[in-house]
Amino acid sequence: MATPVVEVRNLRRIYPLADEPVVALAGVDLAIEPGEFVAVMGPSGSGKSTFMHIVGFLDRPTSGTYRFEGRDVTELTENELADIRSRRLGFVFQAYNLLPRTTAVENVELPMLYAGVGETERRRAALAALDEVGLSRHAMHRSNQLSGGQQQRVAIARSLVNSPSLILADEPTGALDTRSSEDVMALLERLNRERGITIMLVTHEPDIAAHAKRIVTFRDGQIVSDNPSVIRSRAPQARESKDAAVPQVVQS
C-alpha cells in the first residue's frame, strides 16, 4: 500500500488567549493518499483553515502527529519545513497572490527563483506550466492586465513548476464568477486525473466541493463526515491549445 501524502493522528491546535483558550482542532485523524482529490468543508470557525495551514507547514500543531510522505514533520526546524514546502507543496489562494506589475511568466518563475533554479531552466519550465493551463499567449502580460480567472490559472501554473506531490487550494474560486469558477475547477480536475497530482481543496461551497472525489467536513475542530463525492457527470475536457479561448465546462 502506498504511503499517504498526508497522515495526521490526534492532531490538536489550541490558541492561548487571555480569557479562554480557543480549540481550533480537537483531535483530528485523517489520511490523504497519493492521487486523491479531497475537498475540506465546514462553517466559519470549524477548523478547516487551521488544518490546511498545518498541512501546508504554515502553522504547527499543539499536539499529535503529522506525517508528510511518511516523514514526521512535527519536530522539524523552520528551515527544514521551508525546504519541504518549496519543493513538495504547491499553493493556490483565493486572492491569487500574484505580483501585480510582474508578467505572468515571471510570477510563475518565482518558486524556482527561490529554489535557486537557473534562469534558462526557470523560463522553460514557467512557459511549459502556462501552456499547461492554457495561458501561453498571455505569458508576457502583467497580472493586473488579466481577468480574475486568468490570474487564478497563473497561480495554478505557479503551483505546478516544482512538480509538487500536493497542491493546497484555499477557496480558489471565492473571488471568481460562476463561469471562471467552473473553468478553474475543470483545470484542477484534469491535473488530478491526467497527472495524478494530489489536491486538497478548502471551500465552503457545496457545488465546488462536488468536483472533488472525497469530501471531508469539519465542525467544532473535529471531522464529522468523510465520504466519497457524488461527482457530477461531465463531458471530457479537451486540452486548451496555445491560442484557444478559456474552455467551456459542459454539464450533462
Mean pLDDT for the stretch of residues 139-166: 95
Mean pLDDT for the stretch of residues 21-26: 95
Q: What is the mean pLDDT of the chain?
A: 89
Mean pLDDT for the stretch of residues 34-44: 96
Mean pLDDT for the stretch of residues 144-151: 95
Q: Are strands 166-170 and 198-202 parallel, antiparallel or unpaired?
A: parallel
pLDDT band at 209 (very low <50, low <70, confident <90, very high): very high
Mean pLDDT for the stretch of residues 11-40: 94
The answer for residues whose C-beta is within 8 angstroms of residue 6's C-beta and 6 or more apart is 30, 31, 32, 55, 66, 67, 68, 166, 200
CA distance 207 to 15: 32
Distances (CA, A) of 252 to 105, 191, 245: 35, 21, 21
More confident: 173 or 250: 173
The answer, yes or no, to whether residue 239 has pLDDT greater than 70, is no
Q: What 3-state class would DSSP assign to 108?
A: helix
Q: What are phi and psi of 216, to 5 degrees?
A: -110, 125
H-state helical runs in 74-162? 78-88, 104-114, 119-132, 148-160
CA distance 5 to 49: 18
